[in-house]
Amino acid sequence: MPEARTPAQIEADIVRRREQLAETLDEIGVRMHPKTIIGDAKAKAVSAVDHTAGRAFVAVNRLVTDVKGGLCREDGAPRADRIVPVVLLAAGVVGLLVVSARRKR
């Protein structure tokens, strides 16, 4: 059988629980404050953008490295046999875009 508690012990428990409840209510108030909610949403959005930008940077960096590897030798010298067709293709695409734009006018 549990020991009987004194009125002072019961009162001390009530005071302690009241203080815990006040802390909990204060914490809920801070979490539910509109500024806190907006700040959390902004932080999540910034994190998502940073993550997406980081992934895009890695993808672009990988693409540039692959293209450079295809257009340059291991010593860094350009490979004319691969660069000339790429330049001609790019010039052709630009030419077609210019002609297409002039025809629309």
Length of the chain: 105
pLDDT at 86: 86
Amino acid 17 reads R
pLDDT tens, residue by residue, 11-52: 999 999 999 999 999 999 999 999 999 999 999 999 999 999
Higher pLDDT, 54 or 2: 54
The reported pTM is: 0.47
pLDDT at 1: 62
pLDDT at 82: 86
Q: Is pLDDT of 2 > 80? A: no
CB 78 within 8 A of CB 86: no
Sequence-separated (6 or more) residues with CB below 8 Å from residue 62: none
Parse the chain into domains and list their residue ranges: 7-71, 79-105
pLDDT at 83: 86
Closest to 73 measured CA to CA, from 64, 84, 85, 81: 81
pLDDT at 54: 94
